[in-house]
Homo-oligomer: A and B are copies of this chain.
Amino acid sequence: METNIIDKNFLHYIDTPSYDMELTSKYCKTLLVQLFNKMCSEISPEEFIVLDTISCNRGLCQRDLAKLILKDRANTGRILDSLQNKGFIVRYNDTKNNRLVRKVDITQSGIDMLEVLILRFKPYHEKMCKLFNEQDLLILKASLKKIRDAILQIVEIQI
């Protein structure tokens, strides 16, 4: 059999969009981590992301929040424990579809924390923004969506 997987005809992982996305995600994460190391000791980058997500999706139950932040229920609960201990969020029992759920909301202290951080990161945020135009970002967003739709045609994704 002369398939010759090593030659250039075969698409290797390194050449896939998946690899490029992983690589770029690593860059984004490193940027975030380095900025937080320098400029924020109050919360972790992960907690910041969750707090930001809660701030614009108030009154979500934990499972719905988990879907948004791309983590499972267990880890979502743990991050919320930490944010709650720091007083940035509150949890309260409520119902959704006649089911008991724990909903999450941001506190005033959490809002203040977010505003402080946003001000602190503003220079970097603006520097990044200047490097991109809206059109490019929209195209990128659409491309990524197209990939996800393609994957959904092959397997069922439960996130």
Contacts and interface: CB of A to CB of B under 8 A. Distances in A.
Interface of A: 1, 3, 5-6, 10-14, 17-18, 20-31, 34-35, 49, 52-53, 55-58, 68, 70, 111, 114-115, 118-119, 124-125, 127-128, 131-132, 136-137, 139-141, 143-148, 150-155, 157, 159
Contacts of A28: 18, 21, 147, 151
B13 A49 contact: yes
Contact of A6 (B1, B17, B56): B56
A125 B11 CA distance: 10
Nearest to A28: B18
Number of copies: 2
Given A5-B114, A20-B141, A143-B143, 16 more contacts: A6-B111, A12-B52, A13-B49, A17-B141, A20-B145, A21-B28, A21-B144, A23-B70, A25-B25, A27-B148, A30-B159, A31-B157, A35-B155, A128-B151, A136-B143, A140-B144
Contact of A131 (B11, B128, B132, B150): B150
Nearest to A129: B11
Contacts of A23: 70, 144, 148, 159
